[in-house]
Chains A and B, each alone.
Chain A
Amino acid sequence: MTMWDMIVLWIGGAMTLMIFSFLYKDNPFYKFAEHLFVGVSAAFWMVKAIQTTMIPNMWAAIWPKSVTGILHAAQHTEPNYVRLIPLGLGLLLLSRLMPRIAWLSRWAMAVLIGFTSGTYLVRYLQSDFIAQIRSTLIPLVVVTPQGLDVIQSLLNCVLVFGVLCALMYFFFSLEHRGVVGGISRAGIWVLMVAFGASFGYTVMARISLLIGRIDYLGEWLQSFGKIL
């Protein structure tokens, strides 16, 4: 382990303990770590946006000679003046900062929303609507060369009827009474099972992160031995 690795390990260990100290009660150490985290995150994303989006996609495209030797991608390329259009739209977005011309930002927003919804609509229709309907159209009775597959048939029935019951719960054109009410109540059970599974998975995720942190603290404690 290099000296630099050791410094990083110690900062990480100290920050972890500062954050965990909140579990006892709010204190200045926790506040310091929290503010440091927010500040570092904001700075990281600002630098990343400049480094990975503004310089290669805008600056290098419009004025490639200026970054030749710095960005390999910009070598031997012609200026792409079409990129001035998104640059202009980006500047229009900033007009929101000046109330008198704030209305100009709507043009950029219109392009942004139009492009996003146009792109998303097609992909969601294909992958989350049509493909999902297709995945639900499955045989309720599964027969294999070995005979009736009872388990798979049961699983398919649960899936198909589960989907139908959950959909019925959100179908408000019919009053939820009688048969419709019964199916709707079954839909609530399906949704509750899904929420329960979601909660269980979330617990697993959070415990995994705690294990990771405690393992890290263990590594940090072991570094004491190396120093001493």
Chain B
Amino acid sequence: MNILKNFLLQLDRRIIYAAIALAVTIPLVLHFAVPLKPSPIVQSLFDALEALPPKSKVILSFDYGPSTLPENDPMAFAFARHLLTRNHRIYMMALWATGARNLDHTIEQVIEKEFPGKVYGVDYVKLGYKAGDEGLINTLFKDFKGMYTTDGHGTNINDIPMMKDITTLEDFDMILNVGSGRPGTKEWIQYAGDRGNIPIGGAVTAVEALLLYPYYPRQLKGLLGGLQGAAEYETALISKYPQFGTTGRQAQVYMGPQAVAHCVILLLVILGNVSYFLGRRRK
């Protein structure tokens, strides 16, 4: 008992860092996977997208930066795959300046590679980033083309076929937000969803997710919370559309290391408590 007590009390924090690094690296190298099942809040969003009639107009807002790519990118990719498979029209925009690059990344990695038949301006459009945060949403609600006078390439907005019948945010059938902070899903709910009765779907980092659960199910159609939510959405997508079984598993690949790292953290929490109680007994 004394040996254990001394070992725990004198444990170097760098050993803990090394343990976590190994817990992540080894399963990543070995492609360790865990079985997943979509939770009701994820399945609800998936079903909402499934229920939309073909050619529905959906905003996909990229409100995240490079610091949360591992969590948010798989969400954006899964939404793009799902929307285009269902033949919906995607309007890609960003409330974050750093989101514009992620928007381009989704076009390059998913749309151009996996959906070469989809036509720019007919099936998807890059509206890009505009400054203004929730003020932008507020203005888009009244006058969409007043803010977006051109697309992300500088083409006049009226020359883009899929923009012809768009005047306000209320012309859209759904808004999907992939976000990691403010402005994000909360602002889309406050300034668009609740105001215009527009269905909102959220896909946010795990840190943000807990703050958004109270909006489900009345104000939010569904929510993807962190990597787990993204992986669950991929599971739902692959079970319905098996063609994404090889390309659409970004989050699922990361969930194996995530599960192992959580087990190691749980073990460390238990060891931390044991060392605390042993130390207290000594006093």
Contact = CB atoms under 8 A, between A and B. Distances in A.
A binds B: yes
B168 interface: no
Given A123-B190, A124-B190, A205-B226, A131 B218 contact: yes
A53 interface: yes
A210 B226 contact: no
A58 to B, nearest CB: 11
B77 to A, nearest CB: 14
14 contacts: A23-B17, A52-B97, A123-B191, A127-B189, A131-B194, A131-B219, A203-B262, A204-B226, A205-B68, A208-B206, A208-B227, A211-B28, A218-B28, A218-B29
Contact of B71 (A45, A52, A53, A208): A208
Contacts of A73: 149-150
User: Lowest 10 CB-CB distances: which A-B pairs, in order?
Assistant: A212-B70, A205-B206, A73-B149, A201-B206, A123-B190, A127-B190, A204-B206, A208-B227, A53-B131, A72-B150
B137 to A, nearest CB: 10
Interface string A194-208: 100110011111011
Contact of B225 (A48, A135, A201): A201
B239 interface: no
Contact of B149 (A45, A72, A123): A72
Contacts, number: 119
Interface of A: 23-24, 44-45, 48-49, 52-53, 57, 72-73, 119, 123-124, 126-128, 131-132, 134-135, 194, 197-198, 201-205, 207-212, 214-215, 218
B25 interface: yes
Contacts of B195: 123, 126
A209 B150 contact: no
A218 B31 CA distance: 13
B2 interface: no
B210 interface: yes
B194 A207 contact: no
Contacts of B163: none
A154 B76 CA distance: 35
Contacts of A211: 24, 28, 70, 227, 254, 257-258, 261
Contacts of B225: 201
Given A48-B131, A208-B258, 13 more contacts: A72-B149, A73-B150, A123-B194, A135-B215, A135-B218, A197-B210, A201-B207, A205-B71, A208-B254, A210-B21, A211-B70, A212-B254, A214-B25
A72 B148 CA distance: 11
A210 B209 CA distance: 19
Nearest to B20: A210
A131 B193 CA distance: 12
Contacts of A23: 14, 17
Contacts of B97: 44-45, 48, 52
